[in-house]
Amino acid sequence: MEDRIKGIVIRTVDVGETDRLLTLLTAESGKITAKAKGCRQAKSKLRYATQPMCLGDYIFTQSKGGRIVTACDTVENFESVALSLDRYYVSGVVLEGANFFGRENVADPALFLLTLSTLKKVTYDPSPLSSGAVYLLDLLRISGHEVRTVCSCGEEGEWLDLESSAVCCDKHKTGLVMPVSKRWGEAVEDIRQDYAAVGTATLRELYVTLARCLWHTAGCKLSSVQELCKMWDVLAE
């Protein structure tokens, strides 16, 4: 018996000489795992359908060892991401976040649509770095830790509480905090509407602080953000 489901490849692991283990994010079944046999061979029909970021209608059969990919009708492969360093590294942030927050065999259409729409923005919009930062803000929101940019007393804050994603002023800071610039708070508010208003230095600050919030609030440690920051360092030299 065959099953058909639309999914995004968010992680791959090479197995043996020619096989690949895929992790797909789907709306109906959450995160699922399937093996694609022989897909790494040059003439395999599944060669491109088993690349990270591929969106397709996947057809599976069930074996004792789990799902086996037998065919795929590719919808979008986002291949142009590989032509740009910033798009490539930001897409890595998106896929790693989706892999962490996706739950095995638990439907999550909101995460699926968020991930898909962000990959499209990262691929085609003029500011992929801003799109990735918005994705991190949305991951915090759906995990119940939406960023607040004003202290509970109503004053502008200079510190970010990493365990609540809330900004606090010097008088009310407690627990685990890190300093944030005044422009940081403005960027959180501006970035969805006016990406051009957020400079590179502030974008980097956003990535670092939001990644640390995700680590402390949800246990999500994004190594891809570290790789993105390394790219910034290299380009700045």
β-strand 66-76 against 30-36: which pairing, if any?
A: parallel
- pLDDT at position 104 is 94
Residue 237 pLDDT level (bands cut at 50, 70, 90): low
Distance between CA 83 and CA 61 in Å, rounded? 34
User: Which pLDDT score is estimated for 28?
Assistant: 95
Its pTM stands at 0.94
CA-nearest of 7, 158, 149 to 73 is 7
pLDDT band at 200 (very low <50, low <70, confident <90, very high): confident
| pLDDT tens sequence across 181-195 | 989 988 998 898 877
Q: What percent of the chain has pLDDT over 70?
A: 98
Contact 108, 89 (CB under 8 A): no
Domains and CATH numbers, the chain: 2-76 (2.40.50.140), 80-236 (1.20.1440.120)
Residue 43 makes CB contacts below 8 A (sequence gap 6+) with none
